[in-house]
Structures are given as C-alpha cells and as structure tokens.
Amino acid sequence: MKDQHFLNNIFRAQDFSAEEIDLIFPEFKQVSFTKSDFLLQEGTTENQYWFVESGFVRSFVIDTEGNDISTNFYSTGDIVIDWTSFFLRNPTRENIQALTDCICWQLDFDTFQTLFHNIRSFREQGRTTLVSSYFSLKQQSVSMIADQAKDRYLRLMKEKPHVIQNVSLKHIASFLGITDTSLSRLRKEISEE
C-alpha cells in the first residue's frame, strides 16, 4: 500500500504532491544488506545513496596507523551517503558498512540528477538535507577539538540515544576520539552522577 510505504516518512505529503510522489517512489529500489556488508568501500566512487528503513550502518576511515575510526552512524530514516564522492564524482576515503542486517532504499546518481533537475520539491529537500549534513559535520569536527570527551558523549546520548543502545562501545569510542577503556570509565562516571 502506497500510504504505508516507508518513503512516505522521507517524502512527506505536505512537501510533495501526489504526482511528484508517483514520479519519485518507483525510482527507488529496496536493497537488503546483511551484517558486515559494505555499502561503499574506500577507493570507489559513490554512485548511489540509501535511506535506512531498518538496521544500523556506520561510516569509517582507516587512520595512518591502520586503526578503524568511526565517522558517523546511521539508522532508520537517515540518508547514507558520502556527499563529496557522490557530487564531485571522485573516489571516497570512507567505508560505509552495515552493523546489523539492514533494509535500505537506494537511488542511483543518474536518477538523482534527473529528479533533482525536474522536481522542485525534490531539489529543495536535497539542498536542505545537504546543508543539514554539512552543519552536523562541522559541529562534530569543532566538538572534537573544543569539547571534552564527556560532553561529546552526552551530546551523542541526547541526539542519538538509539546509537548508544545498539552500537558497540568500540565503534562509539572511535567516533568520540577516545579509547574503549576511557569510554567505559566515562560511562561509569556518568551513571554515578
């Protein structure tokens, strides 16, 4: 039933006409990923993006010492994409991997371009999403420099409690820029407050 389609949560009726929905929805393809599957690997170019219907996904990079460092987490309703690779058409430095079994809705680059140029509402939503993603990335990079690890953890708890509950401490610690041991100590300290 179209009324119960997951994409209705993304493309809301108040922002898109029924005719626009009829043009957009058929262009998306439902894709299932099993835990540990890669949605994108370092060195390849991002050719599609996904909306997560269910499950957890993370992006990560490998640092100069060979450590795997989480750069973001995604769950239901989130758009999963390496914006730079997608729009500039260059190889990514990130990996994007399913942390659990996932169901996603995929749109490829060429179809995105067609929808973006032909449907004003789609274009406006795309711009809004891109700007929001930029602000989030900027906030995270400034926070890594200017905030204590405890403050970064508390913000993650507030903004993405589902990540705290469902993602391994190892991945969360690397995202916060601290060790697993430091994160365990920090969590203990917070629980005792």
CATH number of the domain within which 100 lies: 2.60.120.10
Its domain, for residue 108, covers: 2-119
Which whole number is the average pLDDT over 36-51?
A: 96
pLDDT digits (tens, 9 = 90+) for 129-179: 889 988 988 898 898 889 999 999 999 999 999 999 999 999 999 999 999
Residue 15 in any domain: the answer is yes
What strand order describes the sheet that includes 79-80? Answer: 29-33, 102-108, 48-54, 79-80
Cα(104)–Cα(26) distance, integer angstroms:
14
Residue 93 in any domain: the answer is yes
Residue 167 in any domain: the answer is no
Residue 8 in any domain: the answer is yes
Give backbone dihedrals phi and psi of 12, rounded to 5 degrees, phi first: -75, 145
Specify the pTM. 0.89
CA terminus-to-terminus distance, the chain: 48
Determine contact, residues 103/53, Cβ cutoff 8 Å. Answer: yes
Contacts of 117 (CB under 8 A, 6+ apart): 123
